Amino acid sequence: MPPESTRDPSVVPEVTVVDVRDPEDALPRPPGDAPTRPLRVLELQVKVLDQNDRQAEANRTLLRHHGIHAVNFVSSPGAGKTALLERTLDALAGQVRCAVLVGDLETDNDARRLRRANVPVVQITTGGTCHLDASMVARALATVPLEGIRLLLIENVGNLVCPASFDLGENRRVTLLSCTEGEDKPLKYPPIFTSAHAVILNKIDVATAVGFNRTTALANIGRVAPQAEAFELSARTGEGFPAWLDYLRRLA
C-alpha cells in the first residue's frame, strides 16, 4: 500500500488477474462433430530399438564397467559347444578368470559338466524358449560375483535360427559348425553366420571318417561370413586349440 501522499486520485490502477484455472480444464465443447484441426507433419529420425536391444546395451555397459568381455556361443544342438567350453576352461584355468552362463530348455546337465574351481556357472533354464535373450542374461548376471572376472562365456540354446536375432550384450559372437553337420550349413542358415565375429569348425578329428570336405566348408563360411575369423579344431582331441585360445586371450 503506497503512502497516502503518493496516491494520485486521478490514476486508476489496472486490474490484476490471477488465473487459478487448470489450463487442461477446457470448457465443454458443443456436441456434434469435433472441430477439424489442421494436419501436421512431424519429421523424425528415431531408431526403433526393441526392448531386447535396450537391455543388451545395459548388459554391455555393466560388463564394460567390470572389465569383462563376453562371448556368445551359438550352434545347432550337438555341435560341441559344451565340449569346447570344457576344454577352453581347463586351458585357461589360472590364466584368465572366466564365468559361464549356459542356456537350455531343460536340465542343468551342461552346467554340471562345466563346473570348475573358481569358475561361477549359471544354468539358465528357458522352459520353452528357443534362444537366450538379454533380460535372461541380465537376471543370470545378477547372481554372479563379477569382480575379477575377465571373460564371460555364454553358451546359447542349441538352435541355428532364433539366437541370431537376439543381442545379449556380448562383445563377440562365435558360431560353431561341426563336421557331422555338412558343408552347406552356412548357406542354409546365413544370418547366424553373417552375424558372427568368429566361426569354429569343430570335430575335425572325424572329418575324414564322415566324408566332410573342409575346403568346401571353409569356402562356404567365407562366402556368407567374410568378416569372421575361422578356426578349425577338435574339442575332443585338442587339435587346433592354440589359435583359438590365443583369440580368447587377446580379448581378455
- The residues binding another protein (CB under 8 A) are 24, 37-52, 129, 133, 135, 164-166, 190-191, 222-227
Instruction: Decide: 166 and 74 in contact? Cβ < 8 Å.
Output: no
Q: Which is nearer to another protein, 17 or 41 (CB)?
A: 41
Q: Which is nearer to another protein, 40 or 250 (CB)?
A: 40
Count the neighbouring beta carbons within 10 Å of the beta carbon of residue 88. Answer: 23
Instruction: Give the nearest distance from C-beta 231 to another protein in angstroms.
Output: 18
Instruction: Give the nearest distance from C-beta 140 to another protein in angstroms.
Output: 15
Write down how long the chain is. 252
Q: Which is nearer to another protein, 38 or 94 (CB)?
A: 38
Q: Which is nearer to another protein, 43 or 106 (CB)?
A: 43
Q: In what order do the strands lie in the sheet with 151-155?
A: 121-125, 98-104, 151-155, 69-74, 172-178, 198-202, 229-232
Rounded to 5°, the CA angle 58-59-64 comes to 100
Q: Which is nearer to another protein, 7 or 37 (CB)?
A: 37
Instruction: Give the nearest distance from C-beta 199 to another protein in angstroms.
Output: 13
Instruction: Give the nearest distance from C-beta 223 to another protein in angstroms.
Output: 6
Helix (H) or strand (E) segment spanning residue 178:
strand 172-178
Helix (H) or strand (E) segment spanning residue 37:
none
The residue with cell 501436421 is 40
Q: How far is CA 210 from CA 84, 181, 235, in A?
A: 20, 10, 17
Instruction: Give the nearest distance from C-beta 74 to another protein in angstroms.
Output: 15
Instruction: Give the nearest distance from C-beta 222 to another protein in angstroms.
Output: 7
Strands 229-232 and 151-155: unpaired
Instruction: Decide: 162 and 131 in contact? Cβ < 8 Å.
Output: yes
Q: Which is nearer to another protein, 191 or 238 (CB)?
A: 191
